Amino acid sequence: QEIHELQAAAAVGQMGLVQVYESCFARFNLRSAQVLLTNADLAHAERNANAKATLDTLLKLGVVPIINENDTVVTDEIKFGDNDSLAALVSNLIHADLLVILTDQGGLFTADPRQDASAVLLSDAIAGDPALEKMAGGAASELSKGGMLTKVLAAKIAAQTGASTVIASGREASVLTRLMAGEKIGTRLAPKS
């Protein structure tokens, strides 16, 4: 498809997605807000400062920011679908202690568990360990974009400001509540000491 057709589809899809989030959060008496960013926004000093101020204000007001890449104006992100890097950059922007990346897998495994029955879940590792990138698909693997490799690389980015990253299954019941209660779920990638 042409890139402008994908951008138009993203614009239409955002409306429905935001309505679903708003409805879900309203059931818990929480307000939400949509924040659309690009990597370029975070790389530009003034836009970065504005994004930080907006996010800080939303959080102070108790509003849950729903952050997504602005697919209507970017091109590479539509091709590669990498919200993991954006999540890591935002965690750095707001100086988060923890980045949680939910996926369709239980965490980072020693091999792809869908293809290798002997794959073992790593419960703890150090973000930025080159062995993790190789395990997740290798830095040059074109098939890994948007997969586990982007999550491992996002953990490396988040670790730059001292944040740990948890990679866990979004299908786990009450996964976020359980993580916040201290339960060990998925893979925790800690920054180097």
Q: How far apart are CA 129 and CA 12, in angstroms?
A: 39
Q: Are residues 117 and 193 in the same domain?
A: yes
Q: How far apart are CA 72 and CA 16, in angstroms?
A: 15
The last residue of a domain, from among 81, 110, 130: 81
Q: Which helix (H) or strand (E) holds 33?
A: strand 31-37
Residues with Cβ within 8 Å of 94's Cβ and at least 6 positions away in sequence, in order, are: 52, 55, 56, 59
Condensed to tens digits (0 to 9), the pLDDT of residues 26-48 reads 999 999 999 999 878 888 999 99
pTM for this predicted structure: 0.86
Condensed to tens digits (0 to 9), the pLDDT of residues 168-189 reads 999 999 999 999 999 999 999 9
Condensed to tens digits (0 to 9), the pLDDT of residues 86-121 reads 899 999 999 999 999 999 999 999 988 888 899 999
3-state secondary structure of 125: strand
Decide if 55 is inside a domain: yes
Decide if 68 is inside a domain: yes
Q: Are residues 9 and 101 in the same domain?
A: no
Beta bridge partners of 109: 121
> What's the per-residue H, E or C state across 9-55?
HHHHHHHHHHHHHHHHHHCCCCEEEEEEECHHHHHCHHHHHHHHHHH
CB 50 within 8 A of CB 56: no
Q: How far apart are CA 73 and CA 75, in angstroms?
A: 7
Condensed to tens digits (0 to 9), the pLDDT of residues 115-170 reads 889 999 999 999 999 999 988 875 434 433 468 999 999 999 999 999 999 999 99
Q: Are residues 68 and 108 in the same domain?
A: no
CATH number of the domain to which 142 belongs:
3.40.1160.10
Decide if 8 is inside a domain: yes
Beta bridge partners of 67: 35
pLDDT of residue 1: 67
pLDDT of residue 126: 98
Q: Is the pLDDT of residue 77 over 60?
A: no
Q: Are residues 28 and 111 in the same domain?
A: no
Decide if 90 is inside a domain: no
Q: Are residues 60 and 122 in the same domain?
A: no
**Domain range for 30:** 1-81
Q: Are residues 10 and 76 in the same domain?
A: yes
Q: Are residues 70 and 132 in the same domain?
A: no
Per the structure, how many domains does the chain have? 2
